[in-house]
């Protein structure tokens, strides 16, 4: 494809490039690519005409939603296409098929659909309907937006008032990664970059435990959802507050998962569990930016002997998190991301995944806590949202991505795992162990 200058819509920012490198890594592992997904479970078939109208309006206002990702020289750009892709799809459960199976198979097809990066649509909306179950499933390619952006897009689709919808994406701002970087002078950026490198080198001095150490070739992503009752969720929130403090709900989930994995995979090799997680640079409740990635990475790491002592583990994670913020190590990854965006995707991916020295995988699992989903009740066109869950692709290893959110006072945990490296029986066992950890029923 020959690209004309006027067809270029946007250049990828450093955080977009970071997610693109992971997309490349996922594809190299034989999987579909770095797709993120939000599933809204609905009580009935929504108002399809309204939904279609708002999706069309959204793609007009944000043309990058129908763009094609193209490489020009070393950099990547969103470019206008001659034939914009379709963004809205409907899937209806045939009368003779079990509805739950139909939903699982349809989502499985959507998340595992292998397409060239250049031809895949940046975002797609799928409506799955049946006699009793309905899901509005949004699937995006990660350089297009991050999870907060996807949440904003869903809120946009839920707003009935056109004037209110126009507030989304305003005021238009540039990439927040670059805005944050611009706050530092060049020598401060270098100091931050060196600080970030030293921090990662320190993390890499401990070999990361791989909970699924087998070597079968990755074939497909599967997922399993665990939804807690309101009472259990209340108990988890209380325990998270007690163990990890007001600032550490996510750390509580991470710590519990480390312990559950340690009990599940007692024979796994390595020194410590290490989990990367992203934090968002947008202000809370901000309606902009809608598209693009505006995040930076952090790590939670805990040696195995600490993981085996519940109290010590949460004290350790809390202290580690506080130190990272006190020492500004969170922002230290910004210049690293900027520098990484000049590398080839292969080199960047290797740097992001492999520990310095040993070359082994740095992550024991991927983690993301979406927090409380606050899409207003009664706002979805023609239907009520009864549940929410998330899905995302992950490299293999670690072959496990854990996502959490709270909707209507119920904690929903999504276990995304790569088959046959892991399998549903292992994940079921992990879910039981995780529930016991979350509810402190282990000691």
CB of 260 to other proteins, least distance (A): 22
Q: How far is the CB of 55 from other proteins (least distance, A)?
A: 25
**Token pair belonging to 231:** 């009472």
Instruction: Give the residue with the Cβ less far from other proteins, 289 or 340.
Output: 289
| CA dihedral angle for residue 251, residue 254, residue 258, residue 261, rounded to 10 degrees | 160
Helix (H, G, I), strand (E, B) or coil at 263: helix
Q: Which is nearer to other proteins, 167 or 442 (CB)?
A: 167
Cα torsion 350, 351, 354, 356: sign: positive
Query: Shortest CA distance to 164 belongs to which of 172, 176, 156?
Result: 156
Closest distance of CB 247 from other proteins, Å = 4
Query: CB count, 10 Å around CB of 151?
Result: 20
Task: Work out how close the CB of 316 gets to other proteins at its nearest, in angstroms, rounded to a whole number.
Answer: 13
> CB 246 → other proteins: shortest distance, Å?
5
CB of 153 to other proteins, least distance (A): 17
Angle 236-238-242 from CA coordinates, rounded to 5°: 115
What SS3 state is found at 208?
A: strand
**Element holding 82 (H helix, E strand):** none
Question: Measured between alpha carbons, how far is 362 from 205 in angstroms, rounded to an integer?
Answer: 10
107 versus 251: smaller Cβ distance to other proteins: 251
User: CB-wise, 215 or 326, nearer to other proteins?
Assistant: 326
Beta sheet of 400-407, edge-to-edge order: 220-227, 410-419, 400-407, 366-372
Separation CA 403–CA 368 (nearest Å): 5
Output 233 or 250, the one with its CB closest to other proteins: 250
The site for other proteins (CB under 8 A) is made up of 245-250, 279, 282-287, 318, 321-322, 325-326, 371
CB nearer to other proteins: give 251 or 391.
251
């Amino acid at each position: 494809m020959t690209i004309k200058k006027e067809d270029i819509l946007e250049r990828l920012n450093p955080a977009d490039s970071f997610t693109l490198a992971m997309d490349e890594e996922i594809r190299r592992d034989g999987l579909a690519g770095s797709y993120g997904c939000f599933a809204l479970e609905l009580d009935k078939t929504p108002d399809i005409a309204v939904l279609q109208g708002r999706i069309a309006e959204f793609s007009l206002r944000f043309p990058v939603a129908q763009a094609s990702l193209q490489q020009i020289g070393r950099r990547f750009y969103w470019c206008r296409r001659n034939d914009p892709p379709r963004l809205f799809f409907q899937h209806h459960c045939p009368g003779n098929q079990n509805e739950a199976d139909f939903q699982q198979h349809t989502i499985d097809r959507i998340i595992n659909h292998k397409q060239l990066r250049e031809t895949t649509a940046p975002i797609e909306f799928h409506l799955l309907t049946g006699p009793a179950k309905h899901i509005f499933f949004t699937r995006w390619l990660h350089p297009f937006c991050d999870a907060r952006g996807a949440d904003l897009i869903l809120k946009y689709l839920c707003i009935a008032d056109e004037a209110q919808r126009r507030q989304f994406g305003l005021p238009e701002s540039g990439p927040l990664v670059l805005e944050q970087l611009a706050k530092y002078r060049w020598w401060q950026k270098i100091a931050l970059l060196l600080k970030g490198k030293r921090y990662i080198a320190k993390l890499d001095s401990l070999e990361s435990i791989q909970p699924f150490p087998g070597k079968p070739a990755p074939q497909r992503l599967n997922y399993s959802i665990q939804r807690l009752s309101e009472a259990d969720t209340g108990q988890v929130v209380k325990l998270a507050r007690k163990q990890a403090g007001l600032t550490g709900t996510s750390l509580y989930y991470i710590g519990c998962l480390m312990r559950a994995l340690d009990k599940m995979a007692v024979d796994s090799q390595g020194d410590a569990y290490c989990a990367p997680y992203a934090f968002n640079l947008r202000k809370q409740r901000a309606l902009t930016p809608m598209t693009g990635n505006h995040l930076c990475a952090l790590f939670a790491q805990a040696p195995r002997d600490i993981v085996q002592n519940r109290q010590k583990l949460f004290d350790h994670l809390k202290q580690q998190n506080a130190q990272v913020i006190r020492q500004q190590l969170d922002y230290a990854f910004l210049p690293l991301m900027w520098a990484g965006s000049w590398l080839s995707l292969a080199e960047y991916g290797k740097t992001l995944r492999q520990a310095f020295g040993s070359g082994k995988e740095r992550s024991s699992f991927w983690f993301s806590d979406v927090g409380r989903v606050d899409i207003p009740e009664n706002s979805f066109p023609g239907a009520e949202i009864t549940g929410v869950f998330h899905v995302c692709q992950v490299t293999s290893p670690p072959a496990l991505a854990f996502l959490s959110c709270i909707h209507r006072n119920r904690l929903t945990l999504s276990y995304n795992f790569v088959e046959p490296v892991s399998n549903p029986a292992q994940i079921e066992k992990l879910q039981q162990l995780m529930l016991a950890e979350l509810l402190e029923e282990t000691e």
